[in-house]
Structure 1
Amino acid sequence: MYPIILLSVFGVITLFLGFSKSKNVLLPSTLLFLALALVSNFVEWGQGPLLYFNDMLRVDKLTLAFNGIVLLSAFMIVAISGGFQDNADAEPAEYYGLMLFSLVGAIMMIGFDHLIMLFIGVEILSVAMYVLTGSNKRNLRSNEAALKYLLMGAFATGFMLFGITLLYGATGSFKLMAIQGFASNMPIASQSYIFYAGLLLLLIGMLFKVSAAPFHFWTPDVYEGAPTIFTTFMSTIVKTAGFAALFRLLNHTFAIYGFWWIVIAVIAMLTMLVGNIGATSQGSFKRMLAYSGISHAGYLLIALTALTKPTQNAIIFYSLAYSLSTIAAFGVLMLVSKEKTIEGQPNERYEAFNGLAKQNPLLAFVLAVSMLSLAGIPLTAGFWGKFFIFTSAAERGIMWIAVFAVLMSTVGIYYYFRVIISSYFKEGDTVKIRVAPFYQIILVLATFLTILFGLAPGIFEGLI
């Protein structure tokens, strides 16, 4: 509750700060606002489930945990944004304001207890992302990405709204508890068919947001065309909020688990296949990370397929591990691609990392740890994230999907290790890259947490 109010107020203040003569105040003020929102998020910890806005928003430990991941990710992303000084057309106040407002939508998605609240949250987050994707107005690739994202996002929203309408028609309510009661005592067949159709359409709209196949077609082009800082924001915060919303929705329709679990299972396998196979053929590191994000959506869908008692902790841990590694990887990419350009454009290909370790050992180490974590190598947070998810599938008795996921993970080792090999074992232009002190601190923090959670995965056990 408190982060929603604070972020809304801070977003407006940030826009007014844009009128000041000095733009240098925007970055520290935005970081301060995010830090205050993060602290306020845990004020209600341990107070039990609280309902706000006419019982449309639920605040419980699950909500606060996901909010914490989203706000921490946002703080780290803004910290490496550099104030957008490199772009002469940049309007930092607008960008930071939109990022703060989009977080309001993400938090609504995470804590919704009413389908209208879910829809409002999705749209607040999505509209901000459409604008930020096309923020580099002079770049045709950015314009194309924004247009694709807008058109396909609007199409997915139509499915989502139609699904909400059918669910309301079947249950007579938008509230999750009423939907749960209806699913537990399914009445006459005609109503149940409407309910099933509404749930499927709502799932389609939500699966688009998390880049699950076959609703993933927008992801590679949008990730590649958007400015890298906003791609980082999109690949972490949007995905975390989307899976938090999916978990809350499916958890309340568990009574018809036999209906939807096979649908999610098939989509999970298809998503892992498309993401991992697609990533192997990419020559662009940024585009590879887009397909990597698709594959990780598939792993998270395994947890939703199982939906056992440990699923909640598994999704939270995996989301945190994935966010830390992704922020670190994109952070290094922004530094390297800016230093090694091609025809005035950032070089985002694997070749840009050749010889990185010789003159920039810290950047190479940060990149290597993030790739090892995304690949699920032991002693990193990513390993335990996958382990917890595969364990939840085994407890449900669907070992076949866990075996398939392990096979797909071995494919991921190939393309994640390509950049490590480039950094440490290939010759290249060994330019010393200057890294701002605070930027360096964020990269080191993300790496430290990735290793810490890899060595002590049970550090948060029992808290949620």
Structure 2
Amino acid sequence: MVMLSILILIVAIALPSFQKNLSSIMITRITSIIFFYAGILSLNGLFIESIGSGLGIYSGLFNVTVTSQFIDSFICFIAGSILIAWPTKTEVTISTENNDQSSNIKSTTLSNPCTEYSLIVMFSTLGSSLLISSSDLISMYLSIELQSFGVYILSTLFRNSESSTSAGLKYFLLGGLSSCFILLGSALIYSFSGLTNFEAIYSLVNVTFDNQVIQGLTLGFIIIFVGFLFKVAAAPLHNWAPDVYNDTPTIVTIWLTIMPKIGILFLLLELQSGVSYNSLIDLVESLNSLSFMGNIVSENIIYLLKNLLLISSLLSLIIGTVVGLAQTQIKRLLAYSTISHIGFILLALAVNTEQSIESFVFYIVQYSITNLNVFLIIIALGYVMYETKNNNQAVYGSNSDIKFISQLKGQFFANPILSISLSICFFSMAGVPPLLGFFSKQFVLYSAVQNGYYFMAIVAILTSVISASYYLKIIRVLHTETESSADSKKLDNLTFETSLLSNTQSFLISSLTLLILLFVLKPSIILNSTQLLALSLFNT
């Protein structure tokens, strides 16, 4: 569906007649509808009877499973929601009274995105959808590059912005380095095994006796995991994330924070669970056979990968929390917050039990929903705040991004609903009960304690408590009254009639906020889905 829409959109953009009739905003809205429709089609794929064991397509390059269909649907819904954040043309009317004469001055704000934005977003989303269904080293690498190159272009979409250009260049260079790691690991696995299919590699891991092959496969898996940890900004490979997130426009940052991570994290789950599950099956079936030595080798690989994830999780929790305390720019703070959340996700992935995988899936869903709502509200506040008065005309800054936390000061008195919604999101990210974020952290910590990871659980609890301080700092700034808010009440001769937020944006923000706030009243909708996904991974 997405691929067909890309081809149609390319043809539509190239035709002169369509260029005159289709505005960039209309193309963006059409793209959003396409994503929602593609998500519904992915959900319908779950009713295929033979999908339980997986369906191999394109000669085994991709494997369609219940997990891949569900995550594909989730990715499409998130992508469609992000596109709604673009503003429409806004007409601002200022009424002034001068010597009993009134005059109306209308100013139109052109905040339309580039037409190419929708096309690039569709390519990046297609890469994410293909990545979660990849079952071969070749399809894995091509999918990750399709996703990554779209994100690189998005980072430099605003060509007139020097900071955006520098951020995109930094992201491209470091992202290319991480892709080299993934390609190197894939080349090592192929050179030592002669295989590219995941299932065949899993089987070889469990039956091989050649020490050289064992060392090559182990090194290859470790290098691939390092490359993917680089792309999800897990510590100590996180240094690029705060700079890139801070310098790119917020409408692009929201994409960088959520979309690339979903597909990569689920692919890491596929790689680790594939090796672990196959090793356990063969271990039971071959206790008295020669392949028992192969199972010992497999357990060694699993042990190394688990330690790699645990070390990265520990560093992500500590660095994301401690360094985030010193941040004064809101997007850099949210970048370190993301690193801290990645620590929780990697902890659940490292435990690798049925219960931890359930918490892993639930945490990703919660993280995506909460981060999406936070950035949508920040974008909405930027639209409202960057209205300035110049000769009785409404003028909007060319860059309506909110850079510093101090810019949010007193917003509760100017925009109380948006401020309360943002506060609810930050309380959820801090893990305050009974919000959605509290349950995600509780599930991860419970699975870690149940499996004996007491030290990691203690570190996660301490970092979660400490990280709450910088969320509370933002909430305090939001509810601190400023002189400008008091002075604005004295401007009786100017009245602003603005409609900066569309009804769709307002509905989306309110729906996500209510989901975060009222999740405790009906938790079964999300919990049942995550539990079924965890069961399908361990019983296929």
Using the TM superposition, give the Cα deviation of residue 452 of structure 1 relative to its aligned residue in structure 2, in angstroms: 3.6
Using the TM superposition, give the Cα deviation of residue 211 of structure 1 relative to its aligned residue in structure 2, in angstroms: 0.6
| Partner Cα separation in structure 2 for residue 238 and residue 115 of structure 1 | 18
Using the TM superposition, give the Cα deviation of residue 191 of structure 1 relative to its aligned residue in structure 2, in angstroms: 0.8
CA gap of 1:429–1:365, structure 2 versus 1, over 3 A, is: same
What residue in structure 1 maps to residue 20 of structure 2? 20
- Equivalent residues of 1:14, 1:96 under 8 A apart: no
- Equivalent residues of 1:14, 1:30 under 8 A apart: no
CA gap of 1:33–1:313, structure 2 versus 1, over 3 A, is: same
- Equivalent residues of 1:157, 1:205 under 8 A apart: yes
| Partner Cα separation in structure 2 for residue 119 and residue 7 of structure 1 | 23
SS of aligned partner of 2:445: helix
- Matched letter for residue 41 of structure 2: S
1:143 matched to 2:165: yes
Give percent identity, aligned residues only. 24
| Partner Cα separation in structure 2 for residue 397 and residue 6 of structure 1 | 49
CA gap of 1:30–1:419, structure 2 versus 1, over 3 A, is: same
Which stretch of the first structure deviates more once superposed, 56-65 or 208-217?
A: 56-65
Q: Choose from 344, 357, 362 the match for 1:317.
A: 362
1:112 matched to 2:134: yes
What residue in structure 2 maps to residue 448 of structure 1? 514
Using the TM superposition, give the Cα deviation of residue 22 of structure 1 relative to its aligned residue in structure 2, in angstroms: 3.7
Alignment of 1:25-424 (within 5 A): 25-47=26-48, 48=51, 49-82=54-87, 92-254=114-276, 255=279, 256=299, 257-341=302-386, 345=399, 346-424=401-479
SS of aligned partner of 2:63: strand
| Partner Cα separation in structure 2 for residue 277 and residue 7 of structure 1 | 44
- Equivalent residues of 1:333, 1:348 under 8 A apart: no
5+ residue gaps, structure 2, are 91-107, 280-298, 389-396, 489-495, 534-540
| Partner Cα separation in structure 2 for residue 270 and residue 71 of structure 1 | 31
SS of aligned partner of 2:56: strand
SS of aligned partner of 2:441: helix
Using the TM superposition, give the Cα deviation of residue 84 of structure 1 relative to its aligned residue in structure 2, in angstroms: 8.8
Give the superposed CA RMSD. 2.3
CA gap of 1:83–1:174, structure 2 versus 1, over 3 A, is: farther
| Partner Cα separation in structure 2 for residue 232 and residue 426 of structure 1 | 28
- Matched letter for residue 475 of structure 2: I
What residue in structure 1 maps to residue 491 of structure 2? none
- Matched letter for residue 261 of structure 1: K
- Equivalent residues of 2:254, 2:372 under 8 A apart: yes
Which stretch of the first structure deviates more once superposed, 395-404 or 6-15?
A: 6-15
CA gap of 1:4–1:110, structure 2 versus 1, over 3 A, is: farther
| Partner Cα separation in structure 1 for residue 239 and residue 172 of structure 2 | 13
| Partner Cα separation in structure 1 for residue 159 and residue 331 of structure 2 | 20
By percentage of residues, which structure has more strand?
Answer: 2
Using the TM superposition, give the Cα deviation of residue 458 of structure 1 relative to its aligned residue in structure 2, in angstroms: 3.1
| Partner Cα separation in structure 1 for residue 470 and residue 8 of structure 2 | 40
| Partner Cα separation in structure 2 for residue 318 and residue 107 of structure 1 | 19
Which structure: larger Rg?
A: 2
For residues 43-69 of structure 1, what are the alpha-carbon distances to aligned partners after superposition, in whole Å with 9 as ceiling and x for unaligned? 210432222111111221211222122
1:427 matched to 2:482: yes
- Equivalent residues of 1:51, 1:57 under 8 A apart: yes
- Equivalent residues of 2:86, 2:112 under 8 A apart: no
- Equivalent residues of 1:27, 1:83 under 8 A apart: no
- Equivalent residues of 2:317, 2:344 under 8 A apart: yes
CA gap of 1:333–1:298, structure 2 versus 1, over 3 A, is: same
| Partner Cα separation in structure 2 for residue 445 and residue 16 of structure 1 | 37
CA gap of 1:11–1:273, structure 2 versus 1, over 3 A, is: farther
For residues 425-448 of structure 1, what are the alpha-carbon distances to aligned partners after superposition, in whole Å with 9 as ceiling and x for unaligned? 443644798432211111111112
For residues 51-99 of structure 1, what are the alpha-carbon distances to aligned partners after superposition, in whole Å with 9 as ceiling and x for unaligned? 2111111221211222122111111110112259899796532000110
CA gap of 1:318–1:84, structure 2 versus 1, over 3 A, is: farther
CA gap of 1:89–1:83, structure 2 versus 1, over 3 A, is: closer
SS of aligned partner of 2:354: coil
| Partner Cα separation in structure 2 for residue 381 and residue 13 of structure 1 | 43
- Equivalent residues of 2:232, 2:260 under 8 A apart: yes
- Equivalent residues of 1:133, 1:230 under 8 A apart: yes
Using the TM superposition, give the Cα deviation of residue 36 of structure 1 relative to its aligned residue in structure 2, in angstroms: 1.1
- Equivalent residues of 2:320, 2:340 under 8 A apart: yes
- Equivalent residues of 1:384, 1:457 under 8 A apart: no
5+ residue gaps, structure 1, are none
| Partner Cα separation in structure 2 for residue 25 and residue 101 of structure 1 | 18
SS of aligned partner of 1:310: helix
Using the TM superposition, give the Cα deviation of residue 276 of structure 1 relative to its aligned residue in structure 2, in angstroms: 1.2
| Partner Cα separation in structure 1 for residue 255 and residue 21 of structure 2 | 27
CA gap of 1:11–1:227, structure 2 versus 1, over 3 A, is: farther
CA gap of 1:41–1:7, structure 2 versus 1, over 3 A, is: farther
| Partner Cα separation in structure 2 for residue 359 and residue 232 of structure 1 | 24
TM-score by length of 1: 0.93
- Equivalent residues of 2:413, 2:481 under 8 A apart: no
- Matched letter for residue 378 of structure 2: L
